[in-house]
Amino acid sequence: MEKVFLETYGCQMNFADSEVVGSILTGAGYGLASTLEEAGFVLINTCAIRDNAEQRVRHRVRELRATQNRRQELRIGILGCMAERLQSRLMEEEENVSFVCGPDAYRRLPELLAQVRAGQKAAEVELSTTETYADIEPVRLASNGISAYISIMRGCQNYCAYCVVPYTRGRERSRDPQTIVGEARSLFERGYREVTLLGQNVNSYRDGDTGFAELMAMVAEIDPQLRVRFATSHPKDLSDSLLQVMASHGNICRCIHLPVQSGSDRMLKLMNRKYTVEWYLDRIDAIRRYLPDCSITTDVIAGFSTETEEDHQATLELFRKVRYDYAYMFKYSLREGTYAAKHLADDVPDAEKTRRLNEIIALQGQIALENNRLEVGKEYEVLVEGESHRSKERLFGRNSQNKVIVFDRGDAVAGTYRRVRVNDCTAATLLGELLGD
Ligand code: 5AD
Ligand code: SF4
């Protein structure tokens, strides 16, 4: 049996997509290789969101030349956002790549692989307005048997000025709620205790009468022992009705990822984010009102087009106000084809972007540590996930707020809920002690 080795870069959505790809290929008679050595194909699922994500993939592709020199039969295919963005240009630039396949074309993979085996190069990059892979039961590749991703919608049409996603993942479309609930229920019956509903902008989920809040309620009502998470939300669409559904379902996790991107109204307008700082802070207030114990995380970009020191200071000020539990922080990276690439100058010097980014990172590190210190003495229910990376004697789990808590293993078992008291912390981790049931 010919085997395929899957490598995944980028966001959670890509990891979920690789599980769909794994399912399509095993369904077509391919095996999934656990090492590169036993594989006839290596498929790399790629991210195009920033230039450094693409450079990492190109580096990997070049590194694979050495393996191909030893084993001429090894073929490389590029999947995902980079395949969609660069199309067959990628095969011209990286000659050891045999095919490219965009995120809406994975059903064609068996044909693509057959063409490549017949000695041809192949590209399949058509985007779809309807494809959701709803009927495909993903193989759980990265899974610990406890927690799984469920993709509920695809694509994005918000067209934030800096972002390449609308071009690589196409128009928004939602998967039907029955298959989503069915997938979640089947995971729960197989022992899974946590599902994360994924989409580029989950708040715009809609299928007939079912909006995102209704869908969340349906999934949460499968069983109170099933935790439900979701990512990512756009601030403009974060509705009170979703917060109400969260408040009335204890198993919907108290954690909201709400990318802000900038704390300056001028930048937000230029970024086409469709909200102001005032609107954003009102949404933060609403979260705190409905869900007082909710953690809040964000994404932010330093050094977007024309960003001044004053704009940057406004971002720091917003971070001080919101006091995020975690933030993904990036330097602006110009992406070909976006509104910003066509109409705005990438005029903040790289050294200045780095300085601003480092200031945000330092501030956020301090805030995360202070937030964690407030956790000391509190008790939480954690879903135990496995052994701590540092020591076999300790286990780790997450609380509803998605914070990692490490504790001495005692009689705790992975995949179960246990109560833990927090005794100590770092900026990234809480340290706790197991309590009796
Ligand atoms: N440069 C830097 N960061 C970006 N993001 C999206 N596009 C870019 C870009 N061109 C960030 C945003 C988004 C996250 C997934 O990646 O913060 O929320
Ligand atoms: Fe990109 Fe904006 Fe869509 Fe997020 S909402 S994927 S940042 S265009």
- The answer to whether 176 touches 135, Cβ cutoff 8 Å, is no
Across the range 296-324, mean pLDDT stands at 98
Cβ–Cβ < 8 Å for 319, 366: no
State whether the beta carbon of 163 lies less than 6 angstroms from ligand 1: yes
CB atoms under 10 Å from CB of 362, counted, come to 11
Query: Rounded CA gap, 341 and 369, in Å?
Result: 37
pLDDT score at 125:
97
Mean pLDDT on 275-291: 98
Closest Cα to atom 17 of ligand 1: 299
Q: Per-domain residue ranges for the chain?
A: 3-124, 143-253, 284-374, 379-434
Question: What's the pTM?
Answer: 0.96
- Contact at 8 Å (CB) between 46 and 8? no
- 433 CA distance to ligand 2 centroid (A)? 40
pLDDT at residue 427 greater than cutoff 80: yes
Q: Which residue from 330, 338, 344 has its CB within 8 A of the most atoms of ligand 1, so it is best to mutate?
A: 330
Ligand 1 atom closest to Cα of residue 261 = 17
Rounded to an integer, the average pLDDT of 358-372 is 97
* Long-range Cβ pairs for the range 239-244 (8 Å, 24+): 239/203, 239/213, 240/286, 240/290, 241/211, 241/213, 242/203, 242/212, 242/213, 242/216, 243/286, 243/287, 243/289, 243/290, 243/291, 244/213, 244/290
Longest dimension (CA), the chain: 64
Q: How far apart are CA 133 and CA 176, in angstroms?
A: 10
Tokens coding 115 = 């063409």
Contact by Cβ (8 Å): 324, 315: no
Domain 379-434 part of CATH 2.40.50: yes
Ligand 1 atom with the smallest distance to the CA of 163 is: 7
2.30.38.10, 3.40.50.12160, 3.30.565.10, 3.90.1150.10: which CATH number matches 3-124? 3.40.50.12160
The CATH number assigned to the domain with range 143-253 reads 3.30.750.210
Q: Is the pLDDT of residue 257 over 70?
A: yes
Cross-strand partners of 100? 78, 123
More confident residue, 285 or 427: 285
Cα-to-centroid distance, 375 and ligand 1 (Å): 30
pLDDT band at 398 (very low <50, low <70, confident <90, very high): very high
- pLDDT score for 32: 97
Q: Cα(67) to centroid of ligand 2, in Å? A: 37
pLDDT tens digits, one per residue of 196-247 = 999 999 999 999 999 999 999 999 999 999 999 999 999 999 999 999 999 9
Distances (CA, A) of 226 to 233, 240, 249: 21, 23, 11
Q: What's the whole-number mean pLDDT along residues 124-129? A: 97
Token pair for 84: 């969609």
Partners of 422 in the β-ladder = 432
Indicate if 284-374 has the same CATH topology as 143-253: yes
Asked if the model's pLDDT at residue 436 lies above 90, the reply is: no
- Of the candidates 304, 163, 181, the one whose C-alpha atom is nearest the C-alpha of residue 234 is 163
Q: For 239-250, what is each residue's pLDDT tens digit? A: 999 999 999 999
pLDDT tens-digit readout, 148-186: 999 999 999 999 999 999 999 999 999 999 999 999 999
Q: How does the average pLDDT of the chain come out, rounded?
A: 97
Evaluate: CB of 397 within 6 angstroms of ligand 1. no
Burial of 52 (0-12, 13-18, 19+ CB in 10 A): exposed
User: Does residue 382's CB lie within 6 angstroms of at least one atom of ligand 1?
Assistant: no
Residue position matching structure tokens 């480092």 = 358
- Asked if the 284-374 domain carries CATH number 3.40.50.300, the reply is no
- Spell out the residues 6+ positions from residue 432 whose beta carbon is closer than 8 angstroms to its own: 380, 382, 405, 406, 407, 420, 421, 422, 423
Q: Where does the pLDDT of residue 142 fall: very low under 50, low under 70, confident under 90, or very high at 90 and above?
A: confident
What is the structure's pLDDT at 437? 67
Share of the chain above pLDDT 70, in %: 100
- Is residue 376 scored above 80 in pLDDT? yes
- The number of the ligand 1 atom at minimal distance from the alpha carbon of 232 is 18
Per-residue confidence band for 121, with pLDDT thresholds at 50, 70 and 90: very high
pLDDT of residue 143: 79
Where residue 112 falls (left for φ over 0; alpha for ψ -120 to 50; beta otherwise) is alpha
Q: Residue 344's closest CA among 352, 353, 335?
A: 335
CA atoms within 13 A on the CB side of 111: 8
Closest ligand to 172 CA? 2
